[in-house]
Amino acid sequence: MVFMDLPNREVNIKLVYYGPALSGKTTNLQQLHRMMAGATSGDLVTLDTRDDRTLFFDLLPLSFETKGGIQIRLRLFTVPGQVFHNATRRIVLQGADGVAFIADSQVSETRANNESFANLKQNLKQNGIAFDDVAVVIQFNKRDLPGIRTDQEVQRIAAKGSEPVFLATAIEGRGVRETFEGLASATWRKLEDRFDLGAKLGIDHDGFMARVRGLFGPVGEGAP
């Protein structure tokens, strides 16, 4: 949940990258860190587990002042995908304002994707967060591999839900920025609808997104 520390004139927004093991959650954040080189002062911190990684990325430089002098900060997290780390996933998900669900495009990973998405809903519920109160976007990653769902199949899947869907090859940086910007946009709109945040802070959606896009330098297009 968005944290407003008005005495210190700060607003913190929490974004979580969720999905099955090895779907590319960590790779997305690593690529964002690279794309924003020179715009970030926070370090990319990885805590290794036996079979997976849990990663925390604090985007402190996305700290800009509104006309009213309020600092807005985005904080990015990802969770371990392995089932036995579910307690950690649930803890990291606490207070989330937006979630990017990173799915593996390989047809063989359909069950893992479905189970992880169901787990996301369950963990939100156990944290007292209604699914409809959180902005959710979906990324179908690993588009460079054989045996993946076609673009048409992904489109049919997307048509069954209301969440924005992005295609990506995160290891090459493709679709990473688009997913992040889509998540930031959806999250801000959700917060505006629920809390009238834009009016309270003196910045509208377009102004917020202009600041988000400003984080990306010349390498932000995913070039090596």
pTM of the model: 0.88
Per-residue pLDDT tens digits for 123-172 = 999 999 999 999 999 999 999 999 999 999 999 999 999 999 999 999 99
d(C-alpha 38, C-alpha 64), whole Å: 16
d(C-alpha 117, C-alpha 99), whole Å: 11
Per-residue pLDDT tens digits for 68-92 = 677 888 888 888 766 657 888 898 8
- Domain 3-215, architecture per CATH: 3-Layer(aba) Sandwich (3.40)
- Extents of the domains making up the chain: 3-215
Evaluated on CA atoms 181, 187, 191, 192, the torsion sign reads positive
